[in-house]
A and B are shown apart, each in its own frame.
Chain A
């Protein structure tokens, strides 16, 4: 919705431009009629002053509308109107009812409301009364009284109308502000309750569980770790949207953490869309993580995965007990053989390096 003040300004300054044309036509009539005007130079000067001042008013309304609110400008404006009012062509045209001077009253309403209009009305009315008293304004009483009453009678409805428009505009603006504030409040409240709900469902639940299982340090660590992961994903966002190598690795590491109460330190470099080869790679990585969790005795497993050019490299490492690779129980050998078989069917490799007492590292590669 367009705001009110520029519209009012256009209407009132527009009126002044019309009043200026009115004054010009009066002057032309006075200059060309017989008998000839007594002071043609004064008429031309008054019209030139009015034209210049009108041009200035137009410029101000586009560039410096704030000036309309200054008493200095309004005083000058009234002075110009007063000069035009007392110039001979106006005095010699008794039917003229003050079209141009009235525009000063309207500019006063625009800038200062009721007091802004009252001041020029008083000045102009006094001037006309003085002229009548001095006999400078010939004519019959009806015309003379209309010359006086035009200012207050025209000003009153304009003051009322502009006042009413401004009040309703203020109400509209404050209603809009209230609505906006309410909306912002509602959004804040919703965010807050969402945050509270999330914290309640996750963090508070976990803290309660931790207090209940405070005698089981492993359980406490697992709970804290799971909660940390969850909160991180919630705060920073996780790449869990869509099926990618990285997101599946993150999910897989989280599953192992939860199921075996170990810490999996996963670092991934690069990402790739999942395919059959990568799926079998991830299931082999998962097997390696589970083995480390179950058999190494280490509390932390380091997993590093790098997607580079045409291949993916994964290292699963623990600092646990390790084992003698020449002396692996038959059942575990079977598991590792089956993983190796699945990997090699997709062109991948699977190598275990283990030293008793130092830990184990499984190195896996898969071509993209």
Chain B
């Protein structure tokens, strides 16, 4: 049997942390938790978990502050954002800060475990809503100054995103498109990279309007 994935939980709601700890099965080992930004930064550096479950909304800067202050010093840690809100500005801000995925807190336990395994494996995790938002943001072709490497989605990436937005899992998406799960994963990683690096107006305006960047 392989080593369990070592997970660190950052959330200011005690009940939620307790709930997640109970839901995660044997494949996951919770090695610590924090309820505030400063403590989280310290403990993540100390224990270097595989995956950090990160609440988006917390006093003192939220999950984004934790990400920005731990990411560079801990390159081996993957961050999965969890939030009650799936407002577009929250989703985009945390993904662009470096989270490898985003799921809402209503996610079913087995799906949360799958999401943790996926970000640990270096892949991206998109909720249907995030997939829909990315399709929306990339759908208007800019007139000038576009970097086709970063600012445009390929047809295949669009197909994959549409299936995710329709509620398909990666496996189901692969079956529908006659490609392997690995290929679906690499398409989604590429979409994640574009989402994080593109300077497209549609992607930055949410964050800058609300002074998140």
Contacts and interface: CB of A to CB of B under 8 A. Distances in A.
B166 A302 contact: yes
Contact of A267 (B85, B87, B128, B139): B128
Give the one of A265, A267, A306, A315 with max B CB within 10 A: A267
A361 B167 CA distance: 11
B131 interface: yes
A193 B190 CA distance: 48
Given A236-B87, A304-B162, A308-B139, A269 B167 contact: no
B165 A304 contact: yes
B87 to A, nearest CB: 5
Interface of B is mostly: helix
Interface residues of B, number: 14
Interface residues of A, number: 15
A269 B165 contact: yes
A14 to B, nearest CB: 48
Contacts of B129: 265, 267
A317 B136 contact: no
A304 B128 contact: yes
A304 B107 CA distance: 18
Given A269-B136, A317-B167, A302 B87 contact: no
B128 A265 contact: yes
A270 interface: yes
Interface in A313-368: 315, 317, 361
Given A236-B87, A302-B128, A315 B166 contact: yes
Interface string A177-206: 000000000000000000000000000000
Interface of A: 232, 236, 265, 267-270, 300, 302, 304, 306, 308, 315, 317, 361
22 contacts: A232-B85, A236-B85, A265-B128, A265-B167, A267-B129, A267-B131, A267-B132, A267-B166, A268-B132, A270-B136, A270-B139, A302-B128, A302-B166, A302-B167, A304-B128, A304-B165, A304-B167, A306-B135, A306-B162, A315-B166, A317-B167, A317-B168
Interface of B: 85, 87, 128-129, 131-132, 135-136, 139, 162, 165-168
